[in-house]
Amino acid sequence: MASDDMPGIPALPVSGRDGEAILQLIGGEVAPDDWQGGDGAPVYRLGPGPAVLNLTYTGNETMATIQNVISVIEGEEEPERQGSTEWVEENRAMLASRTIAYLNVDSAVAGPGFYASATPQLDELLKDASKQIGRLGGGGSDYSAFVQHIGVPSVDMSMGPGYAVYHSLYDDFTWIGKVWRSLVPEACGRTSINPPAKRHNSFFAVASIWGLLALKLSDEEILPFNYTCYARELENGAMDINRRVLGMPVNLSPLYKSIKEFKRAVLKVDSELKALETWRSWARWRNNPLKIKDINDRLMMTERAFTEREGLSGRPWYKHLIYGPSLYNDYGAEVYPGVDDAIQRAKRTNISESWKSVQHEIHRISRVINQAALVLSGRLT
């Protein structure tokens, strides 16, 4: 085979046992922490050597004419999450005006422990179920189109932090039928990943939490959103940017000012919600359904205000300027992804124009935060 026909990085699927043996033979610098494997895995290193690995492929090369080609399906996992993405794009107007929240479950059960990620105003809803609430910004599941394209508050949840055979050749009906169903507790003398009874309870737990969230979001007279957590996340993101651009020609004053306005809006809506806790105030509101609709609309539409029609620079499909996937890792979540992209480019080139791009992105996120503050406070109707 000619060298031009060989891929730059050859890939060959191997079993976990073979992979472990190969990894143990790789020397060199230790890989970053987020590249390391789970418990029991060898330390991952970047190479080279000292071992030499020979990859062998045996196959028949056959040339044939295909005359009925309709389309080409690229060999990638969940390309652009086309099902949910196309549905959201087709129903964008209806979803943007009427959707309260999206509750996502991808892999329901992978192990013990409840894990969830969410847009911050939903944190309080999840707090009773789990203390392990991450930020929902990566593009790895169907929530992506909802939160990152049209700005719908979203939750993603599962039991267990990872599914060992996820999207591998082993993730098939054989695994489900012969492995999961046959697992018994270790006390019976056999290895146990997640015994049937525990697995059943795990599925029940996910279904129960999903159902409870759905009931609260649909039945509560006032939406159970809390934007205090959101304000805190905006501040944390600003502090991270400040650390990364220290000493560079970048002014963060517009960002800090917009966050201050958002915090004022949060205090205003919180005071309105607390007023509802008194019987006299609540009775007056019950006789004024338009007032209830007004505050619910503000709570619901604030997330939409973080979106911008032009989207992220170079990635216009992603409309949400506060949360989005990393440019270099579709599964990784970033706060202020447009600013992150610009900073990484500026640090590579280190020219004045690139730092002006960082400043431009800061003005963009400041603008949408101000816009969200207007919506939440009721000053934008």
Residue whose token pair is 């939406």: 223
- Of 11-25, 170-184, 247-261, 269-283, highest mean pLDDT: 247-261
Give this prediction's pTM: 0.71
Segment among 276-280, 338-342, 364-368 with least mean pLDDT: 276-280
User: For 81-129, what is each residue's pLDDT tens digit?
Assistant: 677 788 888 888 888 888 888 888 877 776 666 777 788 888 887 776 5
Q: Which residues make Cβ contacts (< 8 Å) with residue 285, sequence separation at least 6?
A: 276, 291, 292
Residue 254's pLDDT is what? 95
- The angle that helices 337-349 and 352-377 make with each other, rounded to 10 degrees, is 170
Does residue 57 register a pLDDT over 80? no
Q: Could you give all domains of the chain from N- to C-terminal order, each with its CATH number?
A: 1-64 (no CATH), 81-219 (3.40.630.10), 228-377 (1.20.930.40)
- The angle that helices 228-244 and 337-349 make with each other, rounded to 10 degrees, is 0
Among candidate residues 92, 210, 65, the one with its CA nearest the CA of residue 151: 92
For the segment 39-49, the average pLDDT, to the nearest whole number, is 83
- DSSP code of residue 159: E
Q: What SS3 class is residue 198? A: helix
